[in-house]
Amino acid sequence: MNWFGSRCINAWNLNRKQIRRQHFVEIGGLMDVNEEIVRAWLQLCKNRFTMDNITFKVYGPKGGSNYSNIDLLAVDARGRVFDYEVKWRSAASVSLNDHEWIEEELIGQLKRRERVKRIAEIIGKKVYKRVFVTTHQLFGKGIKKRQAIERIFLKRGIEVIYFEDIIPELIERVSIFGRYDSPILQTIRMLKYFDLVKVPE
């Protein structure tokens, strides 16, 4: 390899590292696949603009601090803003009697003052909607239990939606002839092309 080629490769590697560092500083890290699915659904099925992995600083009761993040913010064509918290669970399930844990660990994440302040820095004093995205498994396979937990969230102003509804809608919307930038949508397109995935009935 000549000198020019070597310099080009070194410059590219340096730039790539800088891009990665900048991404983690400004956005707060790469999205996990569950958040990617929700983002793809919001953009393709709901026609919403999105921001993801928005970091904010949190403070403990003893004065310590750490960082948390807003999984997704979205805005629709009417200008309505939505704050999404995404929790995929395939094994664990909450107890209906564990009210304190639901309030502190699930609802509390969407309600914490540092999160509210960070959103206000982005959208101003605009009213927004809170949405909790999870699986049937987390709230319970039985519909009565799920509905009881959903009512707890609704009383706190939070809508609950499920991957069991999101994923079939996303699969149905993806076309094998479509052009997509998202790896999630590209994967679904390929699986549909080979007839390896179907929309659940």
pLDDT top residue among 18 and 82 = 82
Strands (E), 42-192: 49-59, 65-75, 81-86, 128-134, 158-162
Tell me the Cα Rg of the chain. Answer: 20
Domain positions in the chain are: 1-28, 31-193
- Lowest mean pLDDT: which of 9-13, 176-180, 181-185? 9-13
Whole-prediction pTM value?
0.83
Q: Which two tokens stand for residue 99?
A: 């009210």
- Lowest mean pLDDT: which of 10-19, 52-61, 89-98, 120-129? 10-19
- Confirm or reject CATH 3.40.1350 for domain 31-193, answering yes or no: yes
> pLDDT digits over 105-146, tens only?
999 999 999 999 999 999 999 999 999 999 999 999 899 999
